[in-house]
A and B are shown apart, each in its own frame.
Chain A
Amino acid sequence: MKVEKDLLYTNDHEWVKVEGEFAYVGIADYAQHSLGDIVYVELPEVDDEFEKEEAFSAVESVKAAADVFMPVGGKVVELNEELIDEPALLNTDPYGNWMVKIELANKEELDELMNSEDYEKFLAEEE
């Protein structure tokens, strides 16, 4: 499984890329791999607010469905609408395709996430 440096990760295999007061959120390689061919991505609406660990999206493959949870709380400011027409982008390049951009509610919550090294260890234990 690919793990990208400089991103933060959750136990549920979401990733976060922080840019100042904002952050991009997506799903990790492990998540897309275990789902298989992704056929549908449900996105929230701009201005929707979510708390940490609240489900903000659902991703479906032919035989599975998974909720995607907010790694940190925040308000949605932008959606990656390309995913609606081309959900397979999450399979081909999970780190290149963020799902939502959020305005961080509480930057301290970032401290609870794993860095790429910790996440790699976490994956190794999951195996």
Chain B
Amino acid sequence: MMHPYIPTTHEDEQEMLKVIGRESIEELFSDIPEEFRLSRELNLPGAKSELEVSSYLNSLAKQNRSLSEMTCFLGAGAYDHYIPTIVDELISRSEFYTSYTPYQPEISQGTLQYIFEYQTLICNLTGMDVANASLYDGGTAVTEAALMAVSHSRKDEIIVSKAVKPEARQILKTYAHMQGLTVVEVDLKDGVTDLEELDSKVSDNTAAVIVQSPNFFGIIEDLKATGEIAHKGKKTVFIASVDPISLAILKKPVDLGVDVVVGDAQGMGIPLSFGGPYLGFIASKNDYLRKLPGRIVGETVDKNGKRSFVLTLTAREQHIRREKATSNICSNQGLNSLAATIYMVTMGKEGLKEVALQSTKKAHYALEKLIASGKYKPLFDKPFFKEFAVTSDVDVNKIQESLLEENIIGGYNLGKDYPQYENAVLYAVTEKRTKEEIDKLSSVLEGI
């Protein structure tokens, strides 16, 4: 049977077999022992036409309720920010998306240059010296940074704040367990990392101190004070996970003593897509360059002196250093780093700030609105960016159901990960939300 992606005709097949000196294609599989040759068909449906595939997938998609028919106040690490049209339009150029990792620089200058631009933008945003070409997501980026710190400091204890996104901590614990590393968690105090407790835990055994800011509850942590405590440990690396959009208005991590910055840049041009693929980023001070995982692009000149870009410092990576590499990462989030690059330059100097400011102002308006009647109370009284938690006597499930009836996706149920915050909900408000939508959220909540 002929298939649209496979051009080989019966005639081609016969000619090719003749050249090889074989009678049939089956003979080419004769090196697989008979007992392992599948003697039946795979238990799958037969090939389908494009119309059938498209119709089936659309029918599945219709069994979902997407954000285009609902208003989203859910965040917790994945955000409904505005994506300029040109982002998807440009990343859909197939010279970008059908290419491999840029191992042949002569025919990959497009990819290499955008990675260089991406690295520059991430450095400018965080104030760091170097950034890599990307990591899988914000959660694994926290772990990669921790492993970097372990390798740098040759110590085996990682301290992490409980205000770091729960899934990121779970990933960290999984990896740490495998390598026999110790993870020590620091408790919360009024919605932020308990710095007194942190101070009591940092020692010369501490490889890394990890916090998140804005933290999981949306609250801005005191990174400067945290860093001072972290650096009491000998060679301890201070790691901060950040929301890159917040850095358009908040102080840069580098100015607050952070050594390694990580995070997820999904909010910068990447669709929610039910959780992935997103975009992990990592940037550090120069001191940690050789321990940085993954690919890095550098500028050089070609043999005629022309500016060009290449993958560089590759001797850190798995394909050369094998078991001694800091990380095994190979495929990264290439195309998503292009999306974020296009997003960052499109929004530009003023745009990213406007996104950050509008999100902040709308989130604060929303909190004010939600607590006005007294039915809902802020869970914490701390400065926040675009997310905040409120608590009440109303059952969380009841809240979520009532909102859903009104086509609103409610916030994140904090009781799932923090039993002490039963009936507390974390709401995210981006620049996309309108006053009308916020008012509706508030009125539905009041009516419960």
| A contacts B directly (C-beta below 8 A) | yes
**Chain A contact residues, majority secondary structure:** strand
Given A40-B313, A63-B315, 5 more pairs with CB closer than 8 A = A60-B313, A60-B316, A63-B314, A65-B316, A65-B321
Asked if A62 lies at the interface with its beta carbon under 8 angstroms from chain B, I say yes
| Distance in angstroms between the alpha carbons of A8 and B256 in the assembled complex | 49
Asked if B435 lies at the interface with its beta carbon under 8 angstroms from chain A, I say no
Contacts of B320 in A (CB 8 A): 63-65
Asked if A93 lies at the interface with its beta carbon under 8 angstroms from chain B, I say no
- Cross-chain pairs A/B with CB under 8 angstroms, 22 sampled: A39-B315, A40-B290, A40-B313, A40-B315, A42-B290, A60-B313, A60-B315, A60-B316, A61-B315, A62-B314, A62-B315, A63-B314, A63-B315, A63-B320, A64-B315, A64-B320, A65-B315, A65-B316, A65-B320, A65-B321, A65-B324, A67-B324
B408 → A minimal CB distance (Å): 54
B91 → A minimal CB distance (Å): 30
Contacts of A65 in B (CB 8 A): 315-316, 320-321, 324
Interface string of B72-102 (1 = CB under 8 A from A): 0000000000000000000000000000000
Interface string of B308-347 (1 = CB under 8 A from A): 0000011110001100100000000000000000000000
| Distance in angstroms between the alpha carbons of A60 and B317 in the assembled complex | 11
Within 8 A of B (CB), among A35-68: 39-40, 42, 60-65, 67
Contacts of B316 in A (CB 8 A): 60, 65
| Distance in angstroms between the alpha carbons of A23 and B324 in the assembled complex | 28
| Distance in angstroms between the alpha carbons of A63 and B314 in the assembled complex | 7
| Distance in angstroms between the alpha carbons of A67 and B324 in the assembled complex | 9
B178 → A minimal CB distance (Å): 22
> Number of A residues contacting the other chain (C-beta, 8 Å)?
10
| Distance in angstroms between the alpha carbons of A63 and B320 in the assembled complex | 7
* Nearest chain A residue, comparing its CB with the CB of B324: A67
| Distance in angstroms between the alpha carbons of A62 and B300 in the assembled complex | 13
* Nearest chain B residue, comparing its CB with the CB of A60: B315
The residue in B315, B316, B320, B324 that gathers the most chain A C-beta atoms within 10 A of its C-beta is B315
| Distance in angstroms between the alpha carbons of A63 and B310 in the assembled complex | 13
| Distance in angstroms between the alpha carbons of A5 and B146 in the assembled complex | 46
| Distance in angstroms between the alpha carbons of A64 and B314 in the assembled complex | 8
| Distance in angstroms between the alpha carbons of A45 and B85 in the assembled complex | 52
A29 → B minimal CB distance (Å): 20
Interface string of B279-321 (1 = CB under 8 A from A): 0000000000010000000000000000000000111100011
| Distance in angstroms between the alpha carbons of A61 and B324 in the assembled complex | 15
| Distance in angstroms between the alpha carbons of A65 and B320 in the assembled complex | 7
Contacts of B324 in A (CB 8 A): 65, 67
Contacts of B321 in A (CB 8 A): 65
| Distance in angstroms between the alpha carbons of A65 and B323 in the assembled complex | 12
| Distance in angstroms between the alpha carbons of A60 and B320 in the assembled complex | 10
Contacts of A40 in B (CB 8 A): 290, 313, 315
B319 → A minimal CB distance (Å): 10
| Distance in angstroms between the alpha carbons of A64 and B315 in the assembled complex | 6
Contacts of B313 in A (CB 8 A): 40, 60
B165 → A minimal CB distance (Å): 33
| Distance in angstroms between the alpha carbons of A39 and B313 in the assembled complex | 9
A124 → B minimal CB distance (Å): 29
* Nearest chain A residue, comparing its CB with the CB of B154: A48
* Nearest chain B residue, comparing its CB with the CB of A35: B315
Interface string of A57-93 (1 = CB under 8 A from B): 0001111110100000000000000000000000000
| Distance in angstroms between the alpha carbons of A64 and B321 in the assembled complex | 8
| Distance in angstroms between the alpha carbons of A39 and B314 in the assembled complex | 11
| Distance in angstroms between the alpha carbons of A64 and B317 in the assembled complex | 10
| Distance in angstroms between the alpha carbons of A43 and B315 in the assembled complex | 16
Contacts of B315 in A (CB 8 A): 39-40, 60-65
B254 → A minimal CB distance (Å): 23
Interface string of A93-120 (1 = CB under 8 A from B): 0000000000000000000000000000
Contacts of A60 in B (CB 8 A): 313, 315-316
Contacts of A62 in B (CB 8 A): 314-315
* Nearest chain A residue, comparing its CB with the CB of B310: A62
B204 → A minimal CB distance (Å): 15
The residue in A42, A62, A67 that gathers the most chain B C-beta atoms within 10 A of its C-beta is A62
Contacts of A64 in B (CB 8 A): 315, 320
| Distance in angstroms between the alpha carbons of A62 and B321 in the assembled complex | 12
Contacts of A42 in B (CB 8 A): 290
| Distance in angstroms between the alpha carbons of A42 and B321 in the assembled complex | 14
B118 → A minimal CB distance (Å): 23
Contacts of A63 in B (CB 8 A): 314-315, 320
A43 → B minimal CB distance (Å): 11
Within 8 A of A (CB), among B162-212: none
| Distance in angstroms between the alpha carbons of A115 and B315 in the assembled complex | 32
* Nearest chain A residue, comparing its CB with the CB of B322: A65
B288 → A minimal CB distance (Å): 12
* Nearest chain A residue, comparing its CB with the CB of B325: A65
Interface string of B237-276 (1 = CB under 8 A from A): 0000000000000000000000000000000000000000
* Nearest chain B residue, comparing its CB with the CB of A55: B324
* Nearest chain A residue, comparing its CB with the CB of B320: A65
